A and B are shown apart, each in its own frame.
Chain A
Amino acid sequence: MRPQDILLPAVAGLCCKPGGFHIDPVRPVERAVITHGHSDHARAGHGAVLATQETLDMMRLRYGENFAGSTQAIRYGEEIRLGDVSVKFHPAGHVLGSAQIAVTCKDTCIVASGDYKDAPDPTCTPLELVPCDVFITEATFGLPVFRHGDAADEVKKLLASVALFPERAHLVGAYSLGKAQRVIALLRQAGYDAPIYLHGAMETITEYYQSRNIDLGELRPVKGVKKAALAGTITLAPPSATSDLWTRRFPDPVTAFASGWMRVRARARQRGVELPLVISDHADWDGLTATIAATGAGEIWVTHGQEDALVHWCRSKGLKAQPLDLVGYGDEEESETPLQDEAEA
């Protein structure tokens, strides 16, 4: 069977005809299989949704109880038969509950990896390498200039700045699902045990992480705290809030942003970031190429991000590769509208 008879890009997203479902559909469909809880992958309004318990819980928190007609939870390593194919979930290491989806039909196995990273993350299960025939990879940071380095060093940079400017508040922009909790966990690993403050928009999802037994230390809502009391503290906020009027409640804030985009100066300056922290929940160039090679797949489909470079690399290594034109994840062509795609990086 040809791989494109199993999975094919369609208007609503990646469609599995023999299985009768879509993966991460961007429009309402009858049956959706969802890799993780970020809003461009997990949307409301589908008939039936198959995802990990964590992903389903996050969708419920975001969209309310009736976000789908029906839901079914699946565990890592669990296999389910859908139509003529079997579907198995494996950890993707991206955020809590994120999964790669292996779709097998007869003797052909395709892995749709969703978003993934191979870097350590104390807040989620590490990426599992899944041998397959076709590997569908993201390419958010699919250029060799993106090397994220050790996230612990970036957190040290943040703590050094807090020590240098004790009279200023440090505001860390971080996507509220995944990144924020990872930054908090990294701060705790680095020995920072003071209370960490949270923007209102982060509270629900962070509480959810804590309810899943992820230890984040003492967290406090920043709302209502006096300006002077915020000197020398660290507050996490959604990236959009760090350039907002909201920041006026802080004493001379240092604006940090935790994102893989911070590797490129122009990106950081464009946003008015003073302390760029290169911390990403996506694989960097070395991570993408190492993962692709390790799956043993002979054919690579590349989606959302810098497809050209990664496709070129695959071909130079003798792999069959093609960009997969999926729309709705990040920007339509260059993933350059900063607010949307950076928010999730």
Chain B
Amino acid sequence: MNRFAELLDRLAYEPGRNNKLRLITGYFREVGDPDRGYALAALTGALSFKHAKPALVRDLIAARTDEVLFGLSYDYVGDLSETVALMWPRAELAGHNNPPPPTLTEVVTTLRTLGKTELPKQLERWLDELDEIGRWALLKLVTGALRIGISARLAKTAAAALGDKDPHEIELIWPGLSPPYLDLFAWLEGRGEKPVNRDPAPFRPVMLAHAIEDGDFAALDPTDYIAEWKWDGIRVQAVAGRDDRGHITARLYSRTGEDITGSFPDLVPSLRLPGAIDGELLILREGRVQSFNVLQQRLNRKVVSPKLIKEFPIHLRAYDLLGDDENDLRELPFAGRRERLERFIKKLDDPRIDLSPTVPFTSWEALTAARADPASAGAGEDADAVEGVMLKRRDAPYLPGRPKGQWWKWKRDPHIIDAVLMYAQRGHGKRSSYYSDYTFGVWTAGDGGDELVPVGKAYFGFTDEELLQIDRFVRRNTTEKFGPVRHVVHEGDKGLVLEVAFEGLQRSPRHKSGIAMRFPRISRLRWDKPPREADRLETLERMLKAEPAEIEV
């Protein structure tokens, strides 16, 4: 466990991709089975055991340390696992008879079978046996919060490097493998046959787009690209395949490969042709795409009731085909896959699955016009659910990850208002020493004249340099402190105006202003603008009225 912890620790600080690869490959080379297999599983998110709740970790530390000292430490460090790992008191009886620290295999296999009541005692024992970094890694692992900036793809690439293989080969067989991957390592080290993927409906790693900037267009030729609407839904992969006995298995995956079939049983009967569709999950009512707010009400439900299925009819809008029956189409150019997709959807002929139309254009000017007014450029009544356009190179194969220059997303301009910074709170993790979470407000008429009412909270959108500037401003202009929250000066002529961009508005009885923003972020700092010139609540009310009508459930 300590060796694995060391790897995680070093990876957490190493920014360079190639150096990360070297560190991981070095670990795979140096550490034997099955530890390295469980490490690969941890790095790719393939470990499954019931995670410990943060509350359990809090209880453990509370029993061993002073409450006030823990509170002050947690506030400073900003991360529960790290705070506990650092302040965990040394075991009283340090000596020769101490058991050796656990191996990663021991931790993973014990956690799989351990009963809930035995977990606290077991964790305590391990915490006593490990050092600071070991404790940190252990707590990250058991709470399921192993965020160290390593993608599953990178970990697989590092494994591939062990045997000089193409990582793509691992991707293809990956769905059929399971920890601790003894067969995979045996193949990589030339000691065994290549493992075979027997899953009839495997996930294929998705291809992602870069956000396009104004300056990018000059270098791009419109004739090289096909445009489609960018739908405001959820990207999914719908896969159907025949098992050994010829029965169809159908699965729906999220863009990260999570199996979400269980949440959408109403779509499964439509996936009856073997193939793999890349598309957008939407709610359609009377043939019309509903807003993301409506779709959201079908997500993350524990129980999918018949009522829910009826009121939120699910729909798949297809824009790519990765597999057609037995054939892997990913090496084909996009234009070729699109043709196959059109034939596939026609043959399927299912009301729940349709084709995402292409947007014809001959110049960037024409596409700009289409993007500004999707309703008259072919999106018709669904225009409200369009959040921009996608540009895909005609000749691009389907490549996992975010390859440069192949796919671009070009979102519609967000809504923008000027708001006044009211409260600031310290961030967590990497930002624990900065005031990086901002509550902002707009003006409204109050009893004693105009006053600011909070309308949202944002913690990104600014650059590192701007973060420093706001942090400095907050520290110098604090009028009151409530725990980690600072009350920042906000008067007509004193305060900081933030330009806030957001994607949409919703009514919310939970907020004093009655309005909640979707995806708010700081787009600019308006040092030049006096707070009294910031926007008013009436402006937001008008924007809300212009939003597509919400259906209350």
Contact = CB atoms under 8 A, between A and B. Distances in A.
A275 B433 contact: no
Contacts of B72: 143, 306, 308-309, 312
A264 B13 contact: no
Nearest to A262: B13
A156 to B, nearest CB: 12
Contacts of A149: 132
A123 to B, nearest CB: 26
Interface in A90-131: none
A273 interface: yes
A312 B432 contact: no
Interface stretch (B82-90, B157-165, B229-237): B82-90
B525 to A, nearest CB: 20
A269 B433 contact: no
A269 B69 contact: no
Interface in B14-48: 14-16, 19, 22-23, 26
A164 interface: yes
A266 B430 contact: yes
A144 B87 CA distance: 6
Nearest to A312: B68
A120 to B, nearest CB: 19
A336 B78 CA distance: 14
- Which of A270, A308, A313 has the most C-beta atoms of chain B within 10 angstroms of its own C-beta? A270
A266 B69 contact: no
A32 to B, nearest CB: 30
- Which of A149, A263, A265, A308 has the most C-beta atoms of chain B within 10 angstroms of its own C-beta? A265
A266 B13 contact: no
Nearest to A144: B87
B79 A309 contact: no
Contacts of B433: 266-267, 270, 336, 338
B543 to A, nearest CB: 37
Interface residues of B, number: 30
A164 B25 CA distance: 12
B13 A145 contact: no
B87 A145 contact: yes
Contacts of A287: none
A268 interface: yes
Contacts, number: 76
B69 A264 contact: no
Contact of B86 (A145, A164, A272): A145
Interface residues of A, number: 30
A213 interface: no
B172 interface: no
A93 B26 CA distance: 40
Interface string A291-318: 0000000000000001011001100100
A277 to B, nearest CB: 11
B405 interface: no
Contact of A316 (B16, B66, B77, B87): B66
B429 A143 contact: no
Contacts of A164: 22-23, 26
Interface string B57-76: 00000000110110011001
Interface string B421-437: 00000000111111000
A205 to B, nearest CB: 28
B299 interface: no
Contacts of A19: none
Contacts of B434: 270
A58 B445 CA distance: 62
A192 interface: no
Given A274-B15, A275-B13, A312-B68, A144 B429 contact: no
A322 B547 CA distance: 58
Given A269-B13, A312-B69, A145 B430 contact: no
A164 B434 CA distance: 34
Contacts of B16: 252
B12 interface: yes
Contact of A143 (B23, B76, B79, B132): B76
B13 A273 contact: yes
Contacts of A265: 12, 79, 82, 429-430
B73 A309 contact: yes
B430 A274 contact: no
Given A144-B87, A265-B12, A265-B429, 5 more contacts: A145-B86, A265-B430, A269-B12, A270-B430, A316-B66
